[in-house]
Structure 1
Amino acid sequence: MSFRSIAASFAASLGIVATVLPAQAADLAFPGAIGYGAKAEAWKGGDIVAVTTLADDGPGSLRACAKNGNQPRVCVFRVSGTIMLDSPIRVGSNIYIAGQTAPGKGIQLRNRNSVLTPLVVKNVRQVVIRFMKIRPGPSITPSANVDAITVEDSRMVYLGNLSMQFATDETFNIHVSGGKVSNITLADSILALSLDRSTHPKGKHSKGALICSHEKKENVCGRITIARNLFAHHRDRMPDIKGTNLGRIDVLNNVFYNPISQFGEFYDLLGDVTIIYGGNAALTGPSTSGRTPEAVQVFEWKRKRRVSLMSFNNKRGTATGCNPRSFAVLNSTAKARRIPTTSGPFSAPVYDSKHTVYNVLTQSGDRMPGEVHLDWLDKQVINDTLKCRGRVINHPEEVGGWPQVPNVPPTIDSDKDGLPDHYEASTPGLSPSQPNNPWARPSGSSLSHVETWLAKLAGDLK
């Protein structure tokens, strides 16, 4: 069955079973934004800057656009292909990196000489990053710091529809180092195929996500949403979570497939933490060890600290096509730390877990309506999860390496107003030959021209 057929078959299955924290549409980063990071909107009204080259640095590069001096900015792509990095791209505040604007199969980030994480969101706020492929690969020398994305000491960040593979540390990391992390969303993304026996100094180190890792003192970390993501082919950390009493960490409607040793581990090492774990699907696969762990393991190692866990409507079992396995959702400590289940409000909608696998597999990763940008590597990970295939790997070549993302003819913006010619030509009131105000709102609309364009590309407007 094609992905489009699956989507059609299950489009009506999003039955909401919980209330959501209220938000006005005008306050959202984009229509349909969910979670604690949904109001990352301070980029609105800013400059629209075109990425016109695949070069690592210099005029027209993504690095130049991301380094915005914290001035409101939207980065749009006129090119497609792979950007090879010699150092991390540091993202500024008040910015929207709009990968959905890239033509062809989109934008892929890959390390060349860099031994660090490709995309770093550190000491900033009000950031949106959507529709990109971030696949660093082994470092040229051993390194303990190659995630796909790291968020550190930052607030109000929305990460959505990302495809993240080939990291050698955890694939996604939220880190706090003597500061505060809050109001973060990771949604609709694929985190897969982290490398196990690769270039991490500790040896075997295939990891999914580490939430609220910490160093230094006086750390504050909370109000985080992890929703509608596919985690596949990691040794463990699906996900590992710490936190403080700043606010809850919501883990909602994710698929966790084929760990070697463990799914999720929740700790009290940073402080008292409340975690909502609802509507998820934990599935064993070919790499999973014979002693299948619980889907959630709680560990309390500090006196006078506690993990409080609300767990409801979670599915656990084996992906279709493998021998069935039986294991519990919660370990004994997790059961002892359960708090009463409510109907919310939660930071994002929650649907019944019997629909989680299909919904996530038809929506996650760098894709747009018509499956634009969706490449063979993401399709392979999705098929693995559907059919109980694949395994944890040590090198990208074990799954065919990096997809070749073609550099197709660039998108044209003749009047340099930020909106491409083809969009202006098909939109009443706009002209491809005469600059328009991209932040003007058409009559009767709550969105500006540029917001409408970005939302239509992304499929945000139904």
Structure 2
Amino acid sequence: MRFAPAAASVAASLGLFSATLPALAKDIAFPGALGYGAKALAWKGGDIVEVTNLADSGSGSLRACAKNGGVPRVCVFRVSGTIMLDSPIFVGSNIYIAGQTAPGKGIQLRNRNSIQTPLIVKNSREVVIRFLKIRPGPSISPSANVDAITLEDAKKIYLGNLSMQFATDETFNIHVSGGKVANITLADSILALSLDHSTHPKGRHSKGALICSHEKENNICGRITIARNLFAHHRDRNPDIKGTDVGPIEVLNNVFYNPISQFGEFYDLLGDVTIIYGGNVALSGPSTKNKTPEAVQVFEWKRKRRVSIMAFNNKTGAAAGCNPRTFAVLNPTAKARRIPTTSGPFSAPLYKAKHTVHNVLTKVGDRMPGDVHLDALDKRVINDALRCLGRVINTPDEVGGWPTLPSVPPVVDTDRDGLPDDYETATPGLSPDQPNNPWARPSGSTLSHVETWLALLAGDL
């Protein structure tokens, strides 16, 4: 079902927003949005489209909502459980996929016959995706293309509070193919348990994140924020970074736990790149080789290109309960390419590294206030990082497989205006029995009704 206010009222609302909203509400996707992707705004004022079933395709499916032809919209879920995919879902422009609206334990994406990444954002812009579990698993035939999420030639993208496991290539990939990737945020997410000896044709291939992989010529890739995420149980790519001089790539307040061979690897293969690496914690674990690598290894392989790194307030060591280890933050090349630390401005707020583990592990992944949506697999990964448990795996069965997400009754929306009855009952001026304009703003508020509802569910307010 689609809910679209009359065009005249939408235009009037948008004009009012532009004229009167303070910068905090007007200029970012939602309260608390951070990083270079925070200005993904073009979905505002659009249709509210219900995802009413767990089918791979067809009316009421996530695929039908995500393939929007660029028409602004918000995808809201009236269903919970696992969506089995036979092909990737390509996400269009000007869209907010609001996983926090799913009842019960939320929405899990898993490959069935697909041999590609479940969720791909290609040649799209102004996209927000939050509160989903994306766990593809081994492909039915060998494939080098099974991440959890891939961005390609995409701009103004915000990814937040995602749980990503069971990829057979890197878990998260930003790719540029003769185009431009810029203004991207990945925040508050879990990237864990990528499969090592699985269905990737290269063999052992448990990888975390690959930032600015590339093909073709004239590529531009930068202005990317990787903040407040947990990387756990990957062989390497924690993360691997390339980039160009369009703007820095920020790696801020992340926890990197239990790689086999390497933490972060930064390269000059795409162009001159500046990387800001601050407030991170790198922890060895049960799978980490005895000769623990530095948290950051810089490799310069092109004569006329350079990696510049600003590194500050980072910590290394072993997870609590592991045998103590000492290793450096920077390898010799990284030390030689270090640039002076400034006070910013950075695109995301920073806290000290001594607070990173607690702050990240208490908020990361597909969870909302009261730990709604938090499932057994995410609990396991978080506990691993706290207690020196777990290891890099080859199959999902080694950690109990995919959690079963029960189907629960959807929220009730009697008047079918996109806003659930409980929100309308609790909000002065709204009625669950009479359709209201979900994009109208209550007096004195900087947010529309639908933005307020989404923010309350997510814990943004």
TM-score class, shorter: over 0.9
Q: Report the count of equivalent residues.
A: 440
Paired position in structure 1 for 2:295: 295
2:216 corresponds in structure 1 to: 216
Contact 2:55 2:83 in 1 (8 A): yes
Helix, strand or coil: the match of 1:167? coil
Runs of 4+ that moved beyond 4 A: none
Runs of at least 5 residues in structure 2 that lack an aligned partner in the other structure: 1-21
Secondary structure in 1 aligned to 2:451?
helix
Partner SS for 1:394: coil
Query: What is residue 49 of structure 1 aligned with on the other side?
Result: 49
3-state DSSP class of the match of 2:454? helix
The Cα of 1:396 is off from its aligned counterpart by 0.1
- TM-score normalized by structure 2? 0.95
3-state DSSP of counterpart to 1:50: strand
Aligned 8 A contact 2:258 2:288 in 1: yes
| Matched ranges for 1:250-261 at <5 A | 250-261=250-261
1:390 match: 390
> Residue 341 of structure 1 corresponds to which residue in structure 2?
341
Corresponding residue for residue 364 of structure 2: 364
The equivalent residue for 1:24 is 24
Tell me the residue number matched to 1:459: 459
Amino acid at match of 1:385: A
- CA deviations on 1:204-243 (whole Å, 9 max, x unpaired) are 0000000000001110000000000000000000000000
Q: How does 1:308-319 map to 2 (within 5 A)?
A: 308-319=308-319
SS in 2 for 1:212: strand
For 1:335 and 1:450, how far apart are their aligned partners in 2?
48
What percentage of aligned pairs have identical amino acids? 83
Q: What CA distance in whole angstroms lies between the structure 1 residues aligned with 2:50 and 2:422?
A: 16
Residue 429 of structure 1, CA deviation: 1.0
Q: Which deviations, in whole Å up to 9, do the C-alpha atoms of 1:62-87 show, x marking residues without a partner?
A: 00000001010000000000000000
Contact 2:149 2:172 (8 Å CA) reproduced: yes
Report the residue type matching 1:240 in the other structure: D
- Taking the aligned partners of 1:456 and 1:436, their CA distance within structure 2 comes to 19
Q: Does 1:112 align with 2:112?
A: yes
What secondary structure is seen at the aligned counterpart in 2 of 1:120?
Answer: strand
CA distance in 2, matches of 1:62, 1:151: 18
Deviation at 1:427, TM superposition (A): 1.4
Could you tell me whether the CA contact under 8 Å between 2:173 and 2:209 is conserved in 1? yes
Distance in 2 between residues matched to 1:281 and 1:208, nearest whole Å? 15
2:163 maps to 163
Return the alpha-carbon distance in structure 1 between the equivalents of residues 347 and 233 of structure 2. Answer: 27
SS of match in other structure, 1:341 = coil
Structure-1 separation of matches of 2:252 and 2:415: 44
Kindly provide the amino acid, as one letter, of the partner of residue 360 in structure 1.
V
| Distance across 2 between alignment mates of 1:341 and 1:455 | 34
SS in 2 for 1:158: strand
Query: Are 1:82 and 2:86 counterparts?
Result: no
SS at match of 1:29: coil
SS where residue 63 of structure 2 aligns? helix
Tell me how far apart the structure 2 counterparts of residues 249 and 289 of structure 1 sit (CA, whole Å): 28
Aligned to 2:12: none
The AA in structure 2 aligned to 1:174 is I
Tell whether the 8 Å contact from 2:162 to 2:188 is kept in structure 1 after alignment.
Answer: yes
Q: For residue 91 of structure 1, what is the aligned residue in structure 2?
A: 91
2:67 paired with 1:67: yes
SS of 1:405's equivalent in the other structure is: coil
Alpha-carbon distance in 1 for matches of 2:414, 2:221: 45
Mapped partners of 2:100, 2:410: distance in 1: 14
Matched, 1:435 2:453: no
What is the CA-CA distance between 1:421 and the residue it aligns to? 1.3
Q: Which SS does the other structure have where 1:450 is aligned?
A: helix
For residues 179-214 of structure 1, give each alpha carbon's deviation from its aligned partner in whole angstroms, at most 9, with x where no partner exists.
Answer: 000000000000000000000000000000000000
Q: What is residue 320 of structure 1 aligned with on the other side? A: 320
Stretch of structure 1 that moved more, 65-74 or 426-435: 426-435
Which residue of the partner structure matches residue 188 of structure 2? 188
- 1:289/1:23 Cα in 2 relative to 1: closer, same or farther (>3 Å)? farther
Confirm or deny: 8 A CA contact 2:24 2:31 kept in the other structure. no
The answer for unaligned runs of 5 or more in structure 1 is 1-21
CA contact (8 A) 2:25 2:447 kept: no
What are the Cα deviations for residues 234-284 of structure 1, in whole angstroms up to 9, with x where unaligned? 000000000000000000000000000000000000000000000000000
Distance, in Å, in 2 between the alignment partners of 1:34 and 1:51 is 27
Which residue does the alignment assign to 1:269?
269
Q: Distance in 1 between matches of 2:278 and 2:111?
A: 35
| Alignment correspondent of 1:7 | none
C-alpha distance in 1 between matches for 2:285 and 2:78 = 40
Residue identity in the other structure for 1:84? M
Q: Deviations over 1:105-127 (max 9, x none)?
A: 00000000000000000001000
| 1:377 aligned residue | 377
- Compared with structure 1, are the counterparts of its residues 23 and 146 closer, same or farther at alpha carbon in structure 2 (3 Å cutoff)? farther
Q: CA deviation at 1:25?
A: 2.9
2:229 aligns with 229
Structure 2 distance, partners of 1:24, 1:344, is 19
Partner AA of 1:347 in structure 2: S
CA–CA distance in 1 between the matches of 2:96 and 2:387? Answer: 36
For residue 131 of structure 2, give the secondary structure of its aligned residue in structure 1. strand
SS at match of 2:211: strand
Q: CA RMSD in A?
A: 0.8
8 Å CA contact 2:52–2:60 kept in 1: the answer is yes
Q: Distance in 2 between matches of 1:24 and 1:415?
A: 31
**Aligned mates of 2:87, 2:160 — CA distance in 1:** 23
Partner of 2:40: 40
Amino acid corresponding to residue 199 of structure 1 in structure 2: T
Letter in 2 for 1:298: V
Shift of 1:414: 1.5
Answer yes or no: is the 8 Å Cα contact 2:307–2:337 preserved in 1: yes
Distance across 2 between alignment mates of 1:383 and 1:128:
28
Q: Secondary structure of 1:186's partner?
A: strand
Q: Does 1:444 align with 2:441?
A: no
Give me the whole-angstrom Cα distance separating, in 2, the residues matched to 1:287 and 1:108: 27
Q: Distance in 2 between matches of 1:29 and 1:169?
A: 30
Shift of 1:23: 5.9
Q: Secondary structure at the match of 1:24?
A: helix
Aligned position for 2:15 = none
Counterpart amino acid of 1:390?
Answer: G
